[in-house]
Structure 1
Amino acid sequence: MIEIYKKYHFGDMTAIYLHDKNTKLLGLTLLPTALEDKFCIKGRWNVESLVQVKAVGDPYPDGFSHGHTMRNSRTTRNLFFKEQLVEEKDN
């Protein structure tokens, strides 16, 4: 089950954090604030980890070849979302 975890507005852009409760991953979607009302959580979403790590000794991800991505390594697949802390400071 995927849900909107948090939304933040930065000028004319909106950052939407998506939480996949099944995989325990937290993803990020950025979109213009003017299009926020068109954003729909229903449908086919595949939340990918915000953090991508490839540690020495990890096998290469499926489909890896020279010049292509090494995302979703074994180390990355073992990461999960625990909590988010927000600190606000006066300028």
Structure 2
Amino acid sequence: MIASYDRLAALGDGRKLIAMTENGPIPDPDLVEAYGAGWRWFCTWEGDFLTDGKKNSLEHLVRVYNHERVVTLDELPDWSKYGK
């Protein structure tokens, strides 16, 4: 995925956030860091694609969603308090 990231980074010329959206397998945060890919977020498909164990094993999901470099929805602030 580093080649894809590098192409996108070049297109944005350092001025755009780069996200991995509608991706299949969830990226490994350790590999993302090792390769220097600055993906700002990922958003994989849901349902069986996510949970059937074929593309994303349960072991991988647990490790990724508990990784120190991954922010999950429950860790975000309550945005309803802002902007009213």
Higher Cα Rg, which structure: 1
Point out the structure with the larger helix share: 2
User: Is the shorter-chain TM-score for this pair beyond 0.5, marking a shared fold?
Assistant: no
- Tell which has more relative contact order, 1 or 2 (C-alpha 8 A, sep 6+): 2
TM-score (norm 1): 0.22
